A and B are shown apart, each in its own frame.
Chain A
Amino acid sequence: MSGEQATKRPTLEELKERKAQTRRRLERTGEILTLSMGPQHPSTHGVYRAELDLDGEVIVAARPEIGNLHRGLEKLCEHRTYHQIIPLTDRLDYISGFAMNHAFCEAAEKLMGVEVPPRGRYIRTIAHELSRIANHILWLGVHVMDLGTQTFFCICFRDREYVLDLFEMLCGARLTHSFARIGGVAKDLPDGFEHRCRKVIDFIPKRVAEYERIIKHNRIYYKRTKGVGIFTAEDCYAWRVTGPPLRAAGVARDLRKDEPYAAYDEVEFEVAVEYNADVYDRFLVRMKEIRESCKIIRQCLDNLPDGPFLAPDAGHALPLKKNVLRDPAAMIQDFYQVFYGPQVPKGEVYRAIEVPKGELGVYIRSEGGPKPARVHFATPSFYHAQAVPALVEGEMLADMVAIFASVDIVLGDCDR
Chain B
Amino acid sequence: MSDAIAQLIFLIIKAVLIPLVIVLIVAFAIYFERKFAGFFQSRVGPTYLGPWGCLQSFGDILKLLSKEDVTPDQADKPVFRLAPYIAFLPAFLVMAVLPFGPVGGEPNLFGYRFDYVIANFDAGLMLFLALGALGVYGVLLAGWSSHNNYSLLGGLRAGAQMISYELAMGFSVVGVMLLAGSMNLVDIVNAQAGNFWNWYFIPQIVGGLVFFVASIAELNRTPFDLPEGEQELVAGYLTEYSGMRWGMFLFAEYVNMVVISAITATLYLGGWRAPLEVLSFIPGPIWLFLKICVLIFLYMWIRWTIFRYRYNQLMAIGWKVLVPLSLANLAVTAVVISLVS
Contact = CB atoms under 8 A, between A and B. Distances in A.
B92 to A, nearest CB: 29
A323 interface: no
A34 interface: yes
Contacts of B304: 149-151
A150 B149 contact: no
Nearest to A404: B231
A172 interface: no
Interface in A28-75: 33-36, 41-43, 54, 57
Top-8 shortest CB links A-B: A148-B308, A154-B41, A43-B231, A220-B307, A146-B231, A398-B310, A147-B307, A35-B149
B313 interface: yes
A169 interface: no
A218 B225 CA distance: 18
A41 B239 CA distance: 11
B308 A147 contact: yes
Contact of A149 (B149, B152, B307, B310): B307
A396 interface: yes
A151 B226 CA distance: 18
A146 B229 CA distance: 9
B3 to A, nearest CB: 54
Interface string A386-404: 0000000000111111000
Nearest to A401: B231
B41 A150 contact: yes
Interface string B214-253: 0000000011011001111010000000000000000000
Contacts of A42: 230-231, 234
Given A148-B307, A148-B308, A149-B307, A35 B150 contact: yes
A304 interface: no
Contacts of A154: 41-43
B309 A220 contact: yes
18 contacts: A33-B153, A36-B149, A57-B311, A147-B231, A148-B222, A148-B223, A149-B222, A150-B37, A151-B305, A153-B41, A154-B43, A218-B307, A220-B306, A223-B309, A223-B313, A397-B311, A398-B308, A399-B310
Given A148-B223, A218-B307, A396 B312 contact: yes
A36 B42 CA distance: 35
Interface string B251-270: 00000000000000000000
Interface in B26-75: 37, 40-43
Interface residues of B, number: 28
A2 interface: yes
Most chain A beta-carbon contacts within 10 A, residue among B226, B231, B308: B231
B302 to A, nearest CB: 11
Interface in A206-244: 218, 220-221, 223-224
A158 B42 contact: yes
Contacts of A36: 149
Contact of A401 (B37, B225, B232): B232
Interface in B284-308: 304-308
B150 A400 contact: no
Contacts of A158: 42
Given A218-B307, A224-B310, A396-B310, A148 B40 contact: no
Given A33-B149, A148-B308, A220-B309, A398 B41 contact: no
B234 A149 contact: no
B306 A398 contact: no
Nearest to A1: B312
Contacts of B153: 33, 35, 54, 57, 397
B236 to A, nearest CB: 12
